[in-house]
C-alpha cells in the first residue's frame, strides 16, 4: 500500500519523529500551520475515523493521551486537537491523523 504515513511509521521515509510506541507515532507536520504542529497517527493503517473498528479503541485512546503528553513535553499548556474526516472536511492524507497545534 502506498501510504506516506505508513512509511513514516515504519521509518521508510524520514520525518521529525517525537515519539513512538506500540500503538501510535508522533511526528512534526511537514507544512506547519502553527509554531508547533504535530501529527499523531495510529501505527495501523486506518483510512479515516469512519473506518475505525471496536478493536481500534485502545489505539485511539492512546493517541489522545500521547497527544497530551507530547504537547506538555514541548511546553504547551493550551493547544488545539483536530481530526478531519473525509475529503469534504479537508482530509488529504487517508491514514487517520490527529493534528496537535499550538495557539501562539
Annotated catalytic residues are 97
Closest approach, Cβ 3 to Zn ion, in A, equals 3
Answer whether 28's CB lies under 8 Å from 40's CB: no
Q: Give the nearest residue (CB) to Zn ion.
A: 3
> Which of Zn ion, ligand AMP, none sits in contact with 45, Cβ below 5 to 8 A by type?
Zn ion
CB-nearer residue toward ligand AMP: 49 or 68: 49
Cα separation, 96 vs 50, whole angstroms: 10
Closest approach, Cβ 42 to Zn ion, in A, equals 9
Beta strands 79-82 and 98-102: pairing type? Answer: antiparallel
Please state the separation of Cα 26 from the chain's center in Å: 6
Binding site for Zn ion (CB under 5 A): 3, 5-6, 45, 95
Please state the separation of Cα 71 from the chain's center in Å: 12
Closest approach, Cβ 75 to Zn ion, in A, equals 30
Amino acid at each position: 500500500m502506498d501510504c506516506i504515513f505508513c512509511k513514516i511509521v515504519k521509518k521508510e521515509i524520514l520525518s521529525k519523529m517525537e515519539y513512538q510506541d506500540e500503538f501510535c507515532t508522533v511526528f512534526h507536520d511537514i507544512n506547519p500551520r502553527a509554531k508547533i504542529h504535530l501529527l499523531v497517527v495510529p501505527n495501523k493503517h486506518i483510512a479515516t475515523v469512519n473506518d475505525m473498528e471496536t478493536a481500534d479503541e485502545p489505539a485511539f485512546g492512546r493517541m489522545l493521551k500521547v497527544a497530551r503528553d507530547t504537547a506538555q513535553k514541548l511546553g504547551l499548556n493550551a493547544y488545539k486537537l483536530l481530526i478531519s474526516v473525509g475529503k469534504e472536511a479537508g482530509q488529504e492524507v487517508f491514514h487517520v491523523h490527529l493534528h496537535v497545534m499550538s495557539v501562539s
